């Protein structure tokens, strides 16, 4: 194979050697999926990452500090770096300039990495020649020793020898590549700014001090974003914890090389109960983890237990903290750079190298032990949070076993406040979850006893996003809902045991009511999401106004509707308009007529887009978390899920 010793600056020759080379790239055009995974939009963007990876390598080697990615007006993309420039000298074995080898020989890209860590390759590790093969045209310019070298390729073929096209400042060095993706290969060839922005930001986080500029020239105005993080993954952790409350100020950070593996770890706990740990290998995300993640987990579990024992935070009789306990509320980035990553598993996304495990484990154990000794206040905060997590987990387990046993032994121990219906066929039954005891009273009087059950709940129900499981299970309101529905929760969930075909949330038509409805939906979504998926969950629609004229009555469910009715019947002083502030202001008959009568009521079905499942997950957390700002954004953006909640 080629290496950089083969590259010299002898006169450029343009020989016949390349015939075979060109055949190599034909394979890429025949089966693009084999090299870039897919020819969808995702594959299209992958082309950019493949090129950028080369510049990132140069940055990692210490010779480049700025990379610019430009989406040009014609939708071609230009990547520029200020590194040393791809070598232009003739490669002896190939008989052509090294740069031409880089762009026309399959798998040749990385061999010019110039020492350090060969990290490029993106998802598939195939490099610049594949991008070239899949482009209508590609041009490379190299700035070196006062000259600008240029070569142009079309569909992977060099159409001319590498040549000097002009002169430049003596000390300017770098590489510029512009390519136009082949529209006969890609399903779509229009680049998406936000997709590139996301990945380039991640790359900047993962390579501290590297400046990455993304520029879009297609619109009327230039759209530009710059990413530059002196703190690298430390700032990544700060970014991820942005909408949370950190448990302590420091982002704990470790770095080092073990067994030829470069290891970087940044971590900080927040006061939530969720773990957000992301791992990377050679700047590529490994959602399925692997040996590097295992090494990290082993290290923190052992180190925190040792520390807690030594500091007597854990007493002799106490059980060891579990990994889950320690990772409660933990945000962390584990990034390793490794020369020959081996990927395993069904999707080949799980790191398999055993030296990555031992490297991360020993480095983190060593440096974390030292850190905890130096920072006893932080150490104590983490240990105390973990010990609380341990207790809560234990309590939750007991509470859960108790509810399981209960439902198993005495069948239906229905909640006392439930006014059940007499019909036994769940298909025909519905349950109203009603905000407040007084509205609950009216609803009990108003209902159709045979098929409608009423469960009044008191005040604001527990926010399950902000409470540990033990608290959730001991909450009376939540226990009442679980037993009334009959399905059980989480892994015990069994939809065939559902006691009502419709679960109808009925709250006041005001801000508080909307908030309470959201809390109930959050609970259902987190504990029995299938109820939503299967379309069993509804929101009742109580009216906002009652209008009376000449012994006739109208109800309006919005201001628009009210104005519409007024326009029709006349806005004179014989109009009597009543503004309902809450369900409690309606008598039983009105409640029945306007909100509960299946013949005349309006119900909103709560739906969930299966495809955006995970996104929904996130929006729910945002909505129910502590910080006000992200919540407002959520509400503004997602009126779609909870259709009528304009909080």
Residues taking part in catalysis: 435, 508, 510, 512
Among 56, 69, 79, 503, binds ligand TTJ (CB under 6 A): 79
- Whose Cβ is closer to ligand TTJ: residue 63's or residue 557's? 63
Least separation, in Å, of the C-beta of 157 and ligand TTJ? 17
Residue 133 in the binding site for ligand TTJ (CB under 6 A) = no
- Whose Cβ is closer to ligand TTJ: residue 54's or residue 272's? 54
Residue 214 in the binding site for ligand TTJ (CB under 6 A) = no
Residue span 3-22 as binding mask against ligand TTJ, x where in contact by CB under 6 A, dash where not: -x------------------
Among candidate residues 539, 520, 533, 534, the one with its CA nearest the CA of residue 603: 539
Give the neighbor-by-neighbor strand order of the sheet with 252-258: 252-258, 261-269, 330-337, 276-281, 284-285
- The count of other CB atoms within 10 Å of the CB of residue 22 is 15
Question: What DSSP designation does 424 have?
Answer: -
Collect all residues with Cβ–Cβ distance below 8 Å to 90 and sequence separation of at least 6: 7, 8, 9, 10, 11, 12, 13, 96, 97, 98
Residues from 159 through 178 that contact ligand TTJ (CB under 6 A): 175, 177
Residue 478 in the binding site for ligand TTJ (CB under 6 A) = no
- Reduced to 3 states (helix: H, G, I; strand: E, B; else coil), residue 469 is helix
- Whose Cβ is closer to ligand TTJ: residue 180's or residue 603's? 180
Residues from 29 through 58 that contact ligand TTJ (CB under 6 A): 51, 54-55, 58
Q: What angle do helix axes 41-60 and 193-206 make, rounded to 10 degrees?
A: 30
Least separation, in Å, of the C-beta of 508 and ligand TTJ? 60
Q: Which residues pair with 175 in a beta bridge?
A: 81, 142
Residue 60 in the binding site for ligand TTJ (CB under 6 A) = no
Q: Please choose, out of 79-87, 185-193, 219-227, 508-516, the segment that lies near ligand TTJ by the rule CB under 6 A.
A: 79-87
Among 21, 25, 86, 454, binds ligand TTJ (CB under 6 A): 86
- Whose Cβ is closer to ligand TTJ: residue 55's or residue 104's? 55
Q: Distance between CA 334 and CA 251 in Å, rounded?
A: 13
Residue 215 in the binding site for ligand TTJ (CB under 6 A) = no
Q: Distance between CA 635 and CA 498 in Å, rounded?
A: 31
Least separation, in Å, of the C-beta of 170 and ligand TTJ? 17
Label residue 646 exposed, middle or buried (CB < 10 Å: 0-12, 13-18, 19+): exposed
Among candidate residues 81, 75, 95, 31, the one with its CA nearest the CA of residue 53: 81
Residue 91 in the binding site for ligand TTJ (CB under 6 A) = no
Residue span 109-128 as binding mask against ligand TTJ, x where in contact by CB under 6 A, dash where not: ---x-x-------------x
Q: Distance between CA 504 and CA 394 in Å, rounded?
A: 34
- Whose Cβ is closer to ligand TTJ: residue 114's or residue 352's? 114
Residue 583 in the binding site for ligand TTJ (CB under 6 A) = no
Contact 250, 268 (CB under 8 A): yes
- Whose Cβ is closer to ligand TTJ: residue 59's or residue 540's? 59
- Whose Cβ is closer to ligand TTJ: residue 58's or residue 202's? 58
Residue found by looking up tokens 């400046």 in the block? 211
Contact 473, 407 (CB under 8 A): no
Q: Which residues pair with 79 in a beta bridge?
A: 69, 177
Least separation, in Å, of the C-beta of 263 and ligand TTJ? 25
Residue 207 in the binding site for ligand TTJ (CB under 6 A) = no
Binding site for ligand TTJ (CB under 6 A): 4, 51, 54-55, 58, 79, 81, 83-87, 102, 112, 114, 128, 175, 177
């Amino acid at each position: 194979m080629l290496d950089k010793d083969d590259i010299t600056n002898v006169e450029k020759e343009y020989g016949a050697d390349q015939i075979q080379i060109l055949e190599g790239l034909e394979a890429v055009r025949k089966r693009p999926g084999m090299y870039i995974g897919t020819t969808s939009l995702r594959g299209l963007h992958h082309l950019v990452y493949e090129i950028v990876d080369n510049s990132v390598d140069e940055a990692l080697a210490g010779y480049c500090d700025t990379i610019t990615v430009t989406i040009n007006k014609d939708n071609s993309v230009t990547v520029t770096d200020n590194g040393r420039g791809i070598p232009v000298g003739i490669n002896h074995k190939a008989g052509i300039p090294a740069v031409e080898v880089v762009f026309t020989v399959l798998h040749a890209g990385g061999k010019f990495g110039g020492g350090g860590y060969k990290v490029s390759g993106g998802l598939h590790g195939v490099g610049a020649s594949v991008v070239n093969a899949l482009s209508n045209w590609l041009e490379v310019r190299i700035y070196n020793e006062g000259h600008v070298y240029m070569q142009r390729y079309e569909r992977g073929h060099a159409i001319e020898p590498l040549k000097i096209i002009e002169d430049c400042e003596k000390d300017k060095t770098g590489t510029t590549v512009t390519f136009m993706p082949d529209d006969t290969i890609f399903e779509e060839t229009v680049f998406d700014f936000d997709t590139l922005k996301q990945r380039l930001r991640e790359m900047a986080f993962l390579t501290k001090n590297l400046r990455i500029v993304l520029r879009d020239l297609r619109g009327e105005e230039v759209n530009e974003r710059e990413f530059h993080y002196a703190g690298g993954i430390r700032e990544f952790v700060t970014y991820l914890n942005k909408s949370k409350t950190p448990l302590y100020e420091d982002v704990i950070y470790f770095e080092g090389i073990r067994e030829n593996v470069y290891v970087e770890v940044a971590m900080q706990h927040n006061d939530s109960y969720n773990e957000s740990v992301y791992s990377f290998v050679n700047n590529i995300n490994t959602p399925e983890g692997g040996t590097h993640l295992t090494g990290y987990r082993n290290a923190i579990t052992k180190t925190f237990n040792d520390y807690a024992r030594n500091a007597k935070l854990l007493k002799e009789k106490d059980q060891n903290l579990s990994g889950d306990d320690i990772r409660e509320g933990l945000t962390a980035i584990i990034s390793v750079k490794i020369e020959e990553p081996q990927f395993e598993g069904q999707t080949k996304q799980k790191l398999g190298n055993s030296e990555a495990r031992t490297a991360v484990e020993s480095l983190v154990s060593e440096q974390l032990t030292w850190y905890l000794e130096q920072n006893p206040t932080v150490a104590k905060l983490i240990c105390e949070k973990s010990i609380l997590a341990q207790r809560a987990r234990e309590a939750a387990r007991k509470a859960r076993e108790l509810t399981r046993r209960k439902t198993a032994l005495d069948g239906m121990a229905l909640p006392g406040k439930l006014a059940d219906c007499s019909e036994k066929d769940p298909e025909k039954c519905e349950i109203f979850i009603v905000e407040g005891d007084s509205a609950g009273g009216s609803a009990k009087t108003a209902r159709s006893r045979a098929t409608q059950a009423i469960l009044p709940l008191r005040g604001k129900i527990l926010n399950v996003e902000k409470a540990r499981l033990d608290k959730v299970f001991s909450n009376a309101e939540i226990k009442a809902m679980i037993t009334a529905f009959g399905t059980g929760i989480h892994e015990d969930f069994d939809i065939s045991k559902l006691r009502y075909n419709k679960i109808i949330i009925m709250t006041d038509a005001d801000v508080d009511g909307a908030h309470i409805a959201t809390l109930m939906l959050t609970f259902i979504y987190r504990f029995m999401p299938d109820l939503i998926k299967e379309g069993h969950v509804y929101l009742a629609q109580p009216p906002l106004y009652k209008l009376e004229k000449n012994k006739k009555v109208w109800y309006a469910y919005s201001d628009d509707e009210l104005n519409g009715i007024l326009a029709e019947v006349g806005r004179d002083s014989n109009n009597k308009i009543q503004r309902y502030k809450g369900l409690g202001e309606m008598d039983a008959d009105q409640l029945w007529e306007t909100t509960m009568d299946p013949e005349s009521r309006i119900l909103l079905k709560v739906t969930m887009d299966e495809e955006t499942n995970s996104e929904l997950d996130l929006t729910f957390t945002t909505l129910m978390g502590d910080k006000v700002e992200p919540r407002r954004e959520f509400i503004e953006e997602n009126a779609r899920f909870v259709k009528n909640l304009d909080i």
